[in-house]
Amino acid sequence: MKTGDLATLDERGYVRIVGRAKDMIIRGGENVYPKELEEFLLRHPEVEDVQVIGVADEKFGEEIAALIKPRDLKNPPHKKDIFAYCKDKIAHYKIPKFVRFVESFPMTVTGKPQKNKMRDEMNELLKDLEKFEEHRIR
């Protein structure tokens, strides 16, 4: 049976789900699992919810974008704070290149985030150079 889930098996035989195959980001030959980054970013005290997606990139194939729902939308953390939070705690290639603060995420009728819609919107947004610089954090 194929579920589309990606998992690891530890030495004691325990299986850990690390994400979905269709959501995996391939950045410069490195596999990045959005679920892992989402769990990490959710530990930031100012982050209420987060969705991590891959966006088109000429150099690396895909780059990492984090769409963050802050706890206080009127006073979100600075994008550089998110970068600093990640630096030296996770591998450099897993650090999001783009951060966008949002009020909510597009959801399916069953309550699942529509990552394909987020990806399309973010790719469209990044085509405009001014908006590109607005969301870039490095």
The answer to whether position 41 is within a domain reads yes
The answer to whether position 103 is within a domain reads yes
pLDDT in tens, 70-91: 999 999 999 999 999 999 999 9
Angstrom distance (rounded) from CA 69 to CA 66: 10
The answer to whether position 115 is within a domain reads yes
The answer to whether position 15 is within a domain reads no
The answer to whether position 33 is within a domain reads yes
For 87, 108, 130, the CA distances from 136, given in Å and listed in that order, are 15, 28, 10
- The pTM is what? 0.81
The pLDDT score that the predictor gives to residue 5 is 63
Residue numbers of the domain that contains 82: 23-135
The answer to whether position 11 is within a domain reads no
Say which amino acid occupies 110: T
At residue 103 the predicted structure's pLDDT band, cuts being 50, 70 and 90, is very high
Find, among 56, 135, 133, 126, the residue nearest to 102 by Cα.
135
At residue 4 the predicted structure's pLDDT band, cuts being 50, 70 and 90, is low
Dihedral, CA atoms, 91, 63, 111, 47, nearest 10 degrees? 50
Domain count, the chain: 1
The answer to whether position 67 is within a domain reads yes
pLDDT in tens, 31-74: 999 999 999 999 999 999 999 999 999 899 999 999 999 999 99
CATH number of the domain residue 82 falls in:
3.30.300.30
The answer to whether position 48 is within a domain reads yes
